[in-house]
Structures are given as structure tokens and as C-alpha cells.
Amino acid sequence: MRLEVEDLAFSYRDDRVLEGITFGVDGREFVGVLGPNGCGKTTLIKCVNHVLSPEGSVRFGGHDVASMSTADRAKHFAYVPQALSMGMATTVFESVLMGRRPHVRWGVGESDLAMVSAALQRLKISHLAFRKMTQISGGERQKAVIARALVQEPSLLLLDEPTSALDVRHQLEVMSLIREITLERDIGALMAIHDLNLAARFCDVIIVLHHGRVVAAGPPASLLTPALIEQVYGVTAIVGREGVLPFILPVEPVGGALR
């Protein structure tokens, strides 16, 4: 199913954070939202999920997201937030099992338990299943939250910087997994992300925000130019390829070298 966002805008009181945002996400499409701190990436993800109530139109599968019940949105959207609570006293297994809540009517079945076990194995955290969420690292908690999103069986993954708490190896593992899941399950993924290199390598499309507006959108290989990076981030950069893999190397802030 297709996500369609048209002329979306949002304000925190008198502070206009997003303005005139229009884009779409198809099934099997991995879309990254890029931009500097404060440009509205997290706000956009929350507006799509109706955690925040924006102006404009957000439709999914032809249906107005604002008119959906909370239960219906939970069946369609799996949201992985940027900030994770330290106060979760459940085990990792129990926390991931909560992702089955939108689909469980009378009680947890064997198929639900098997799905959780498979997700833990796929995220390589099976050994943590019976540890408390408060007793594992931030990166391990992040992987548990991603596992919970997968067992939710969504039609669209909404991810707010899912790799921010992970080291390099686990960043690559998680991004590869998200890429695989979108193709295997024929679902879309919309992800706010800071890392230009991860976005360039794994995303089909990137949307670049600056001062709350879309300044560029399209395939990362052609879109991420030194001129765009300087305009949006205020740094000079080298953009190249190592074989088939694109890379971005920031060099220095515009107007002065790093010290």
C-alpha cells in the first residue's frame, strides 16, 4: 500500500516546524529523511503516524490516517522512536511480544511466540530474551524495539534514527535487515536518519529537509552532491564511489577549517 503525504505542515505553538511537505512511499521502497538538527525529521515521522496532528493530508492505502482508529493505525504502522525509556521492567521477550498486541484477540498463541523467537534470532539478540530491558545496553534495547516493530507485521515501518545507538557493525546489520524486510514483505519504510553514508547505501529515495521544507528528493546517488551538502549542512564534502558503493566525506565547515 502507498503512503501519500500532501502539503503537510505543523507548528509547535507559534513555531512553524514543517511547511508544504509532499511525497509518497510505495511498498518495497526504503525512503530516508535527511537534514540537519532541528529541520523537522522527527516531527515529520510523528505527523505521518498521527502521534502529532498536522495540517494537510496523510493517506495510507487511500484512507485518511487522521480518521483511522488507534487500533487500525497500529495494524498498519510500526513506529520505532529515537528515544527509548530506561524504565521498562519487562524482559526482552515480553517487550517484543507487545508488538503482537494489535493482532491478539483472546490470548497469545503459539504462532505469536514463534514469531517473537524468530525476530529475536534475526536481530541476533536471542541470548537476551529473558534479560530485563533495563539490564541491557542502549544498542541492544534499540534492536529489541526494532524486533517488536517486525512482529507487529506492519504495512509501513516508521523509524526515527534507528541506528543512532548502534556501533558500526550493528548499524550495517540493522540497515540491511530493514532493506530485506521491505522487499520480503512488500512493505514501505520511512526513516529519519543523520548518517549520509548509510542513507546513500541503503535507501531507494531520500528526502532532504532544510528549515522545515523539502529542498531535494530523489535517488541518493544522483541527489547527494557537494553543492547540496554545502547548502543544507554548511560543510564542504567529497562525494565519490568505492566500486558500486557511494560515500560522502565531510571536509570542513564552510568559512573555516575544523580546529
User: In the 8-state DSSP scheme, what is residue 82?
Assistant: S
The CATH number of the domain covering residues in 3-224: 3.40.50.300
Buried b (16+ CB within 10 A) or exposed e, 153-176: bbbbbbbbbbbbbbeeebbebbbe
Give the model confidence (pLDDT) of 36-73 as tens digits: 999 999 999 999 999 999 999 999 999 999 999 988 99
Q: Do the Cβ atoms of 215 and 227 come closer than 8 Å?
A: no
Residue spans of the domains in the chain: they are 3-224, 225-259
pTM of whole model > 0.75? yes
Give the model confidence (pLDDT) of 109-132 as tens digits: 889 999 999 999 999 999 999 999
Low-confidence ranges of the chain (pLDDT < 70): 83-88, 106, 256-259
